[in-house]
Chain A
Amino acid sequence: MLARVADSLYWIGRYVERAEHMCRLSDVMLSATLDRSEAATQVARIALAAVGDPDVAKAKSPYEAALALTLDKEDDGSILCSISRARENARQVRDQITTETWERLNLIYLRMTDPNAGRSFADGSQLFLHDTIADLHLFKGAGDATMSHGEGWSFLLLGVYLERAQLIGSLLEVAFGETRRRRPLGDHFALTSVLRMGCALEPYLRVYTAEMRPRYILQFLLLDEDFPRSIRFCAQEIEGHLSAIIRHAGLAGSVGPDRLAGRLRARMQYADLDEIEAGGASAFLKTVLDECAAIHRSLYDTFVAYPLEDRLPA
């Protein structure tokens, strides 16, 4: 597979995952602030901080914040921008993805860039976000069902899971990191909202019942083996797809991204929540996020931007 193509597929995965996560944050923020409680403002603040927006004043006008987050053309972090970039990458590798997959993504793009998109959002912002999330699921589903699960697919999913691990990591840091928070988050409503932002509420209830505790949530979103949005699950997937790629490339045995991915997976698999809490969630999350960033760099050095001298025929 062309290095440029692998790069584009990887970024499609990242941008699609980012867009989906942003949709969910906006959605939770909008629905939380329907009632004007202190907890609701707190939720809006968490959502904005998880997005990376330092301006907490925006939590006072959540609708405007959500609108900008969704459709702002100028903002690099907006959902529209992520979707545009995913689609632009898809267009550059149009020959590598199936028509079914392309159509799903193109459809989302066309809806978001439609001149009437602003009005649709105003008419029913949560419906708009909900539909976008559903269409993003269809995109992943169409890819899963129609694309070959070979090297290209692995690069796409590497993008998805690396992005997801980083997004969930940032969310947990905002909600539970002691560097940000003087007082632990205790409100039932706020805790439920955090789970919603991670699309984790229903699976959580099945494991821990309706008992909301920061410790359980942390345990679930960090260390659950089966939940697809826990960082442990992401680490397993990252390692799996990387080793598939490496097998395909015939590079087995060399150290590089696979060593880093293996270490992250082991860290998550054998982690102990008591130890994590003893050392502070923030410190642990920082290590995890740093390791994700290192895997990203190593991927580039190995598969995309490798020095030519090493690869020329003798």
Chain B
Amino acid sequence: MSVRRDEPAPENATAPVAGPYDEMLTPDGQVRPHYAALDARLATLTPDELAERQRTQERFFLLQGITFTVYGAESTTERIIPSDILPRIIAGAEWARIEAGLAQRLRALNMFLADIYSEQQILMDGVVPRELVLNAPSYRREMQNLYVPHKAYANVCGSDLIRQENGEFAVLEDNLRVPSGVSYMLANREASRRVFPGTFRSAGVRSIDRYPDLLLATLKSMAADWRPNPQVVVLTPGVYNSAYYEHAYLARLMGVPLVEGRDLVVHDNMVYMRTTTGLRRIDVIYRRVDDDFIDPLTFRRDSSLGAAGLFNAYRAGNVVICNAPGTGVADDKAVYAYVPEMIRYYLGEDAILPNIETYLCREKAQLSHVLANLDKLVVKAVGASGGYGMLVGPHSTKAQQAEFAEALKADPDNYIAQPTIQLSTAPCLIDHAVEPRHVDLRPFILSGEKIVVTPGALTRVALKKGSLVVNSSQGGGSKDTWVLSDTKGDRS
């Protein structure tokens, strides 16, 4: 079957309209070189054959239990997150740039965290406004002057990249708290290897299989200076968490225990888990529980997801919590605007991956610009995530805009705005036909003793036609991402 081309521009269009970048096709409809093999394979498959493969893939996810739970009034059901069988492909040279950009960025973000939780030089030098950092709810006073090995605060980072209309990748968001999605990256890979084995082999796709052992090595490196062979565990909020599958998956592939708060005991500033043979000491906790919930004595008192006394054990240096509490201050949507400055400040380099232009509503001049352009901009609440608390200007009603205008004026500090970016599109299988849908890119970066970028990513897809929201909570799906090992097929 053939790939449906986007509709041609209207005949009377004189200047090229800034349409979305198509991952597969050039503006004149040619298949980009790194997509050639997939295109050739698609040409040999009928729509029914493709649909059959899609069904096989869904069956695979269901059988593996890669599901999230939907709680309804009547009954509880489990659904799979839709996974599209057509891989998104990234050329080797392009990836090299992304990889360098991501490593640079995380290095600077870790230095920023180490700085604001100790000397606060960057605040004294006025590069980042002091009150922006210290007043952020994600800033954790408790972390001040606490020793973090290798100054690696964000051990696992999942950054959201998007490709702009001009074909350039830019960073939309840094996720430094408890980023999720890596199990989908790995599961999508397992599935797509089955769907397109021949194409996969001949394309020279870079392997992502080592992610679990690289993650384990990263976590172990956090305790290496005081324990030769540290006991690592994954801390999950439990089976009812929507990312539970991922927690269990990572624990299984790393070969370490998956613990819940109720399995932990803190005694004399040491952390133990209850085993059948008594208490066993824990050295490194890869926690998939938010800051607020890890220790009811230090943070939220009503939390039962963590362990009482855990933070004190951490302060005493008897256990390492990964990611460190308080990393959220560096992925705050307002602090985000200053990341290119940080890179210059700490590393003396220009950012390899640009930011999306961001208006901070806390600045008077920028606020009035935002208010005047609500119909064109995307407005985001600083504290919210998951696509909530967001106004997408061009897709909004006058009433919604008026509502946001009020909210902005009432609490300008809480909002930022960005131009509406047409996320790039990639071919997806929609009802027996291949159609373009908007996608983003979430690669995963590890940092412990050193920084490692896995050559792959989770590509999230806005399955609804024309939609720009890729979050799984709002009708998004995902697909495998092939990073090619050679440099041929570089973007031209």
Contacts and interface: CB of A to CB of B under 8 A. Distances in A.
Interface of A: 1-6, 88, 91-96, 99, 102-103, 106-107, 110, 151, 155, 245, 248-251, 303-304, 306, 308, 311-313
Which of A3, A91, A95 counts the most chain B CB atoms within 10 A?
Answer: A95
Contacts of A312: 267, 279
Interface string B280-318: 000000000000000000000000000000000000000
Given A110-B63, A245-B276, A311-B279, 6 more contacts: A2-B257, A2-B276, A94-B65, A94-B245, A95-B249, A102-B65
A308 B62 contact: no
Contact of A248 (B63, B65, B277): B277
Interface string B253-284: 00001111011010110100111111100000
A2 B277 contact: no
B239 A3 contact: no
Interface string B240-260: 000011001101100001111
B65 A91 contact: yes
A9 B262 CA distance: 17
18 contacts: A2-B263, A2-B275, A2-B276, A3-B274, A6-B276, A88-B239, A95-B248, A95-B257, A95-B258, A102-B65, A103-B63, A106-B63, A110-B62, A245-B276, A250-B277, A308-B279, A312-B267, A313-B268
B287 to A, nearest CB: 16
B263 A4 contact: yes
Contacts of A304: 276
B305 to A, nearest CB: 14
B274 A4 contact: yes
Nearest to A5: B257
B64 interface: yes
Contacts of A251: 277
A304 B249 CA distance: 24
Nearest to A102: B65
Contact of B275 (A1, A88, A106): A1
A95 B276 contact: no
Nearest to B268: A313
A311 B263 contact: no
A6 B245 CA distance: 19
Contacts of A2: 257, 259, 263, 273-276
Contacts of B249: 94-95
A283 to B, nearest CB: 35
Contact of B64 (A5, A96, A99): A99
Contacts of A91: 65, 239, 244, 248
B109 to A, nearest CB: 30
Interface of B: 62-65, 234, 238-239, 244-245, 248-249, 251-252, 257-260, 262-263, 265, 267-268, 270, 273-279
A251 B62 CA distance: 41
A107 B63 contact: yes
Contacts of B265: 308
B15 to A, nearest CB: 54
Given A4-B274, A151-B276, A95 B65 contact: no
A94 B258 CA distance: 9
Contacts of B268: 313
Contacts of B234: 95
| SS of A interface (majority) | helix
A245 B277 CA distance: 9
A1 B258 CA distance: 10
B267 A4 contact: no
B212 to A, nearest CB: 12
Given A103-B64, A313-B279, A94 B252 contact: yes
A6 B258 CA distance: 13
A4 B260 contact: yes
B283 to A, nearest CB: 15
B64 A313 contact: no
B252 A95 contact: yes
Nearest to B257: A2
A92 B270 CA distance: 26
A249 B267 contact: no
B240 to A, nearest CB: 10
B276 A1 contact: yes
A94 B63 contact: no
Q: Which 4 pairs of residues, A with B, have the shortest CB-CB distance?
A: A94-B248, A95-B252, A95-B251, A311-B278
Nearest to A7: B276
A109 to B, nearest CB: 9
Contacts of B64: 99, 102-103, 106
Which of B234, B238, B252, B267 counts the most chain A CB atoms within 10 A?
Answer: B252
Contacts of B238: 92
A92 B276 contact: no
A255 B267 CA distance: 28
A33 to B, nearest CB: 32
A151 B262 CA distance: 21
A107 to B, nearest CB: 7
Contacts of B260: 4
Given A3-B274, A103-B63, A103-B64, A92 B279 contact: no
Nearest to B251: A95
Nearest to A107: B63
Given A88-B239, A95-B248, A102-B65, A313 B267 contact: yes
A249 B276 contact: yes
Contacts of A103: 63-64
Contacts of A5: 257
A251 B276 CA distance: 10
Contacts of B258: 93-96
Contacts of A110: 62-63
A88 B244 CA distance: 12
A92 B277 contact: no
Nearest to B281: A313
Contacts of A96: 252, 258
B263 A3 contact: yes
Contacts of A311: 278-279
A117 to B, nearest CB: 13
Contacts of A249: 276-277
B262 A4 contact: yes
Contacts of B244: 91
A4 B260 CA distance: 9
Contacts of A88: 239
Contacts of B275: 1-3
A120 to B, nearest CB: 18
A307 B262 CA distance: 14
Contacts of A3: 263, 274-276
Nearest to B65: A106
B252 to A, nearest CB: 4
A251 B275 CA distance: 13
Nearest to B244: A91
A95 B276 CA distance: 17
Nearest to B252: A95
A154 to B, nearest CB: 10
Contacts of A93: 258
Nearest to A303: B276
